[in-house]
Chains A and B, each alone.
Chain A
C-alpha cells in the first residue's frame, strides 16, 4: 500500500522508509512556532525541561500577534516575558510590532516554510502552510516546549481524505467559499484526526492566497492538516519568498484514502457560515435578510493582498452603510504597505471603513472591534463559536472578503453581485 503526501513527509522526518496510518512516530521538526498567548505557557514548560538553549535558533519562530500592539498591562507583561526569552535564547525569528504580522500570513511571507517541511505551531491555524505542500499542524504549548528543546514531536500518522478539484472558480467566488462549502458538507468533525489532501486539475486555477485560505481552515473540519500538491505556482511562490531548499512529495498512486470527494469549482456559490459553527453553511442565495452591525475583513484566513484587492474592488466609489462599523486589518506589514501603494487603503477610508495595523485583534474577541450583546458581525475570519468576537450573546457570520465588503455597503449580508453591476 502506498503513502499519502502527508505520510511521505512524516516518514522522511522520522527516518523511516514507510509509515502507515495509526502508527506513532517521533519526527524531526523544521520549524516550531508560538504566539503571545501560547508561548508564555511553553516557555515555562521549556524551563522545566532543563536544557539551556533551543535546539536550533533559526528553527524557532515567535510572533506576538494576538493581543498586540498590547491592549492592556497584562498582555504587555506576557509579551515582555516572551521578548526577554527570545533575546536570551537569541531566537532568530522573533518579530516585534512594526515587523510583526498575523503569524500564518507572516511565516510563509518570510520564507520560513517550504514544501516538504514538518512544522508545529502552538496555534491551531498552523495548518495554513499546507498550501505550500508542507506538513504543518497546530499543537499545544507543551509540544512547543518539547519541540524547542529537542527539535522533535510525536505524531500519530493520519489517514487522509482526498479532495479532487476540477474546473475553476466563477466570479466573486474564492478559496473561502471552497472551504466553507467543504466544511458545510463534511461537518466540523468531518476530517477528525485526518489529513485533507487537495489534488486534481482544479488546483492549478487556485491562487496561492486561495490555497492558504483553504489550508487555514482544515482545523475547522477537525483535520490534522490540509495539504496541496505542489505545482508551478507553489514553486514560484517559494522562489520569491525563500532561500530554503524544498522537497516535493507526491502521493503514491496506490495511497489509501478514507474518502474521495470530487469538487467542481465552477459550480460553487458565495457561501456563508451561520452562528455558531463553521458547518452551518448556506449559499448566498439562501441567506435571507440578515442585518449586520459590524463587518470585519482580515485575519490569517483572509487578510492577504488578494483579499484586500477584492474588497477594494467592491468598496470603490461606494460608501459603507451608516451605522455599520467596517474594520479592515491587513495581515502583515508587507501586505499593508502593498495595499497602500496600490491605493486600496484610500478606497477603504473613503468608503468609511477603519483600517487597522496587523493584529489578530477582533478575530478572537481580543480587542479592536469587540461585539456587544445582541450584535451581529459578518467576518472573513474562521470561527463563529459562541463569544468568539465578544459577548456570548453576539453573533458571527463567516464569509469571503467579497461578501463582507458587499455587506458593508448594504448593511445586511449580501452578494457582491448585488452591489457591483
Chain B
C-alpha cells in the first residue's frame, strides 16, 4: 500500500477518533463522517482513499469501541503507522482487517504530506519523499493469517471451529 501521510501526535484516543455522542448508531458509513472531528475538523474533507495515517505513542487509547478502527478504514486510510498502539485498538484493527504497523523510527521521521509505502508482511516502510526506509515490526504469523482471511470472523469461519 502506498499513499500520502496525514500525521497526528501522541495519545490519540478513541474519543477523538469517533466521539461517543455519535455512537447511538453503529452505521459505519454514517459515523465515518465524524472521524477525527474533535481533533481535526478538516480530516474528512482532506483524506483521500489510500492515505496513510501516522501518529506518535499510544495510538487509539481509551474506549474499546471497534467503531474507531472501522471509521478510519471507512474514511479511506489504508494503513496506520504509530510509535505504539493501545492494545485494544491494536487487536481491533487486526480483527477487522485495518493494516497497522508499529515503528517508532518511522513515526518520528515521517512528516505530514510525505509519500509513503508500507509492506505489512515484511514490516518495511519506505518514505518515497525522503528516500528513506524503516523497519517496522511485522505481524506474527497468527495475526497475518487473521489479516489475510480478512478479519477474525472469516478466520474463525475458515477454521470451522
Whether B65 pairs with A365 at a CB distance below 8 angstroms is: no
| Residue interface mask A135-178, B partner, CB < 8 A = 1 | 00011111101100110101000000000000000000000000
Q: A40-B26, A140-B95 are in contact. List 9 more A-B contacts (CB 8 A).
A: A122-B64, A123-B63, A138-B64, A145-B152, A145-B153, A154-B142, A189-B86, A386-B13, A387-B16
16 A-B residue pairs with CB within 8 Å:
A37-B23, A50-B157, A67-B24, A71-B24, A122-B66, A124-B62, A124-B63, A140-B92, A142-B96, A142-B151, A143-B95, A143-B152, A222-B58, A277-B11, A387-B16, A387-B21
Select from chain B the residue with minimum beta-carbon distance to A193.
B87
Pick the residue among B20, B64, B84, B152 that contacts A192 (CB under 8 A).
B84
Whether A387 pairs with B19 at a CB distance below 8 angstroms is: yes
| Residue interface mask A382-417, B partner, CB < 8 A = 1 | 010111101010000000000000000000000000
Q: Which residues of A contact B69 (CB under 8 A)?
A: 140
Write the nearest CB–CB distance from B9 to chain A, whole angstroms: 12
Interface residues in B, total, Cβ within 8 A: 41
Q: Which residues of B contact A71 (CB under 8 A)?
A: 24
Write the nearest CB–CB distance from A90 to chain B, whole angstroms: 22
- Given contact pairs A49-B157, A142-B151, A189 touches B15 in the complex (Cβ within 8 A): no
- Given contact pairs A146-B156, A189-B84, A140 touches B91 in the complex (Cβ within 8 A): yes
Whether B26 pairs with A78 at a CB distance below 8 angstroms is: yes
Interface residues in A, total, Cβ within 8 A: 53
Pick the residue among A37, A152, A222, A224 that contacts B65 (CB under 8 A).
A37
The answer, yes or no, to whether A45 is at the interface (CB within 8 Å) is yes
The answer, yes or no, to whether B128 is at the interface (CB within 8 Å) is no
Q: Which residues of B contact A146 (CB under 8 A)?
A: 95, 152-153, 156
Select from chain A the residue with minimum beta-carbon distance to B83.
A189
Q: Which 6 A-B pairs have the closest CB atoms?
A: A140-B92, A140-B66, A142-B95, A74-B24, A189-B58, A124-B64
Write the nearest CB–CB distance from A220 to chain B, whole angstroms: 8
Write the nearest CB–CB distance from B147 to chain A, whole angstroms: 13
Q: Which residues of B contact A141 (CB under 8 A)?
A: 66
Q: Which residues of B contact A40 (CB under 8 A)?
A: 26
Q: In whole angstroms, what is the CA distance A67 to B20 when docked?
A: 10
Whether A48 pairs with B153 at a CB distance below 8 angstroms is: yes
| Residue interface mask B146-159, A partner, CB < 8 A = 1 | 00000111001100
Chain A contacts to B: CB under 8 angstroms: 24, 37-38, 40-41, 44-45, 48-50, 66-67, 71-72, 74-75, 78, 121-124, 126, 138-143, 145-146, 149-150, 152, 154, 188-189, 192-193, 219, 222, 224, 277, 364-366, 370, 383, 385-388, 390, 392
Q: In whole angstroms, what is the CA distance A138 to B63 when docked?
A: 9
The answer, yes or no, to whether B67 is at the interface (CB within 8 Å) is yes
- Given contact pairs A44-B26, A140-B95, A385-B13, A366 touches B21 in the complex (Cβ within 8 A): yes
Q: Which residues of B contact A50 (CB under 8 A)?
A: 157
Write the nearest CB–CB distance from B48 to chain A, whole angstroms: 25
Q: Which residues of B contact A24 (CB under 8 A)?
A: 140, 142-143
Q: Which residues of A contact B39 (CB under 8 A)?
A: 386
Pick the residue among B38, B63, B95, B157 that contacts A392 (CB under 8 A).
B38
